[in-house]
Amino acid sequence: MPFKYYPLSPLPPSSASTVLTDDFQALLLEQGTISTDSFTIQEEYPFSNDSYVPVNVRITSAIDPLTQEKLGDDWKRLLFYEDINHLTSVGQKYYFSDNYWISINSENIKSLTASTTVRRANNVLRWMSGSSILEEPCSIDYSYKNPRNDVPKSDLITPGAYIRIYVQQNSKTNTIFENQRFLFGNPLNWTCLRVLGGGIRNFLNTKTLDNNSAQLLTLEVETGFVNTDTDDLVNGIADRYLYTVSGSSTAVSGIVISPNNGDILEGSTQIFDAHYYSGSTIISGSFIFSISGSSVPVNHYIFTPLTANTFSVTNNEIYTDNSLDILCSGSSGSRIFSVNLRGGW
């Protein structure tokens, strides 16, 4: 008698999907565990909290979506092989290889694997919010757009160039406003960048109807000038002395060095006074005076701190290759004052 076959009942679609997903997760875990591109990195958690937890990922080269070419070391793709449901988002920060990284593009929605493309933070935004100093890792584009010199009737050359900055959007960066200035570079050569009117892109919501869901802030900035009176040229904080508050709770508007002309003729000695000011009023406060990384040979000058507010410089011999930079460091801010060792006339 022939055998009679009865078809097996297929798994319900939901169960089949679960089995396939579990098998795929197991495969990713197996491959990720033995892969040479697997690393333990630090992930900010929760978002914008500035606290980090370890997470295991695979780090691969990022691909330019337009050219399909591999991007350089400033771009990486993170694959979360331990959990395909791992939540990622644009603006998320990571830390590995001695750098902070910012998520520029994440893949979560209806995607079988959790991944994100991150960009290395190549600098730090530092700014004043009231009397507080705030800072946030940021990524600055590589080249200026439309670099040029504007020459008005006075023949004063002013810079003109634009560049873009990416930074996490959070409670700190929400205090950044149009026309805000930032300093980048180093104490010997700061570059000033100013936020353009209409240069704050803080409205790219990750949830359409939730205006608090934007997580990546883009700033369009242009080149500007360093202000030696109000900028902190030691720590790289623009307009610090417009906001800093001293122990007497009086707003410091600047550090004034007098005489403000730093030229000293050969064979002459000049005494300089340093004071905090609120508007046109002197505020009490002391300084520690020192030479700041100067390359002027020591036989060309004599530098002498005199009191908590004065110092003197003697020009022994002309030196025009570099200025003699004096760091005036105080409890309510610091300033670098440049002295030029001129000739005998």
CATH code of the domain containing 84? 2.40.10
Average pLDDT for the chain: 84
Q: Which one of 86, 120, 154 terminates a domain? A: 120
Structural domain count of the chain? 3
Are both 144 and 214 inside the same structural domain?
yes
- We report the CATH number of the domain holding residue 293 as 2.60.40.1080
Same structural domain, 112 and 165: no
Verify that 109 and 165 share a domain, yes or no: no
132 & 218 share domain: yes
Same domain, 148 and 211: yes
Going by pLDDT thresholds of 50, 70 and 90, the confidence category of residue 158 is low
Q: Are residues 110 and 163 in the same domain?
A: no
pTM of the model: 0.68
- Please state the rounded mean pLDDT for residues 127-141: 89
Which of 248, 235, 237, 238 lies closest to 276 in space, CA to CA?
248
In a domain, residue 5? The reply is: no
Residue 43 domain flag: yes
Residue 238 lies in a domain: no
pLDDT value at residue 206: 87
Tell me the C-alpha to C-alpha distance, in Å, between residue 118 and each of 13, 30, 40, 143: 36, 24, 15, 19
Q: Evaluate whether residue 173 is within a structural domain.
A: yes
Last-in-domain residue among 96, 120, 144: 120
Is the pLDDT reported for residue 335 higher than 60?
A: yes
Min mean pLDDT across 38-47, 228-237, 251-260, 296-305 is at 251-260
Residue where a domain stops, chosen among 77, 102, 120: 120
In this prediction, residue 246 carries a pLDDT of 43
Mean pLDDT, range 67-92, rounded to an integer: 84
Per the model's pLDDT, the better-predicted residue between 325 and 344 turns out to be 325
Rounded mean pLDDT, 61-77 = 78
User: Pick the residue with more confidence: 158 or 97?
Assistant: 97
Residue 333 falls within a domain, yes or no?
yes
Q: 49: which DSSP letter?
A: S
Q: Are 114 and 129 found together in one domain?
A: no
237 occurs within a structural domain = no
Does the residue 229 lie in any domain?
Answer: no
The phi, psi pair for 164, rounded to 5°, reads: -115, 145
Q: Based on the fold, state whether residues 128 and 219 are members of the same structural domain.
A: yes
Task: State whether 78 and 135 are in the same domain.
Answer: no
pLDDT confidence of residue 165: 97
Averaged pLDDT for residues 21-44: 80
Query: Is the residue at 240 inside a domain?
Result: no
For residue 178, the 8-state DSSP code is T
* Confidence category of residue 81, pLDDT binned at 50, 70, 90: confident
Residue 15 backbone phi and psi in degrees, to 5: -70, -40
> Which residues constitute the domain of residue 53?
23-120
Please tell me the predicted confidence (pLDDT) of residue 341: 93
Q: Does 86 share its domain with 155?
A: no
Q: How far apart are the first and last CA of the chain?
A: 125
Asked if 139 and 51 sit in the same domain, the reply is no
Of 19-33, 132-146, 323-337, the range with the lowest mean pLDDT is 19-33
